Amino acid sequence: MKPIIISPQHIRRELIVALISFVIANVLNIYAIIHYQTEWKELFTYLPVVIILTGIIYFLILLIRGLILGIRKIVKLVRVTNLS
């Protein structure tokens, strides 16, 4: 069985995407705290919800990245077949 090798650049990119997802989830939490005028302790007490929201945002970003990659491959395939 051939081993799977994940490059450090790929790991770094995925960690950055996960961090961006976490920041977006926290910004949404801060917006909700300000909008509904609740206590700032909810920034810490709702951390499990923020982590779940981070996973949802990461999955949505993953879907968008997959769609973009798929569209690029289809466009490249169409260009190659049109040139032949």
Q: How far apart are CA 2 and CA 79, in angstroms?
A: 33
Tell me, yes or no, whether 68 lies in a domain: yes
Tell me, yes or no, whether 9 lies in a domain: no
Q: How far apart are CA 14 and CA 63, in angstroms?
A: 14
Q: How many helices and strands in the chain, by DSSP H and E?
A: 3, 0
Residue 1 has pLDDT above 90, yes or no: no
CA distances to 24, 49, 52, 59, 65 from 56, in Å? 11, 11, 6, 5, 14
CA distances to 70, 71, 77, 83 from 80, in Å? 15, 14, 5, 5
Counted domains in the chain: 1
pTM for the model stands at: 0.85
pLDDT digits (tens, 9 = 90+) for 35-57: 999 999 999 999 999 999 999 99
Tell me, yes or no, whether 49 lies in a domain: yes
Tell me, yes or no, whether 56 lies in a domain: yes
Residue 21 has pLDDT above 90, yes or no: yes
Tell me, yes or no, whether 73 lies in a domain: yes
Domain residues for the domain of 61 are 22-79
Which pair of structure tokens corresponds to residue 80?
Answer: 């190659």
pLDDT digits (tens, 9 = 90+) for 56-80: 999 999 999 999 999 999 999 988 8
Residues 6+ apart with CB under 8 A from 42: 29, 33
Tell me, yes or no, whether 11 lies in a domain: no
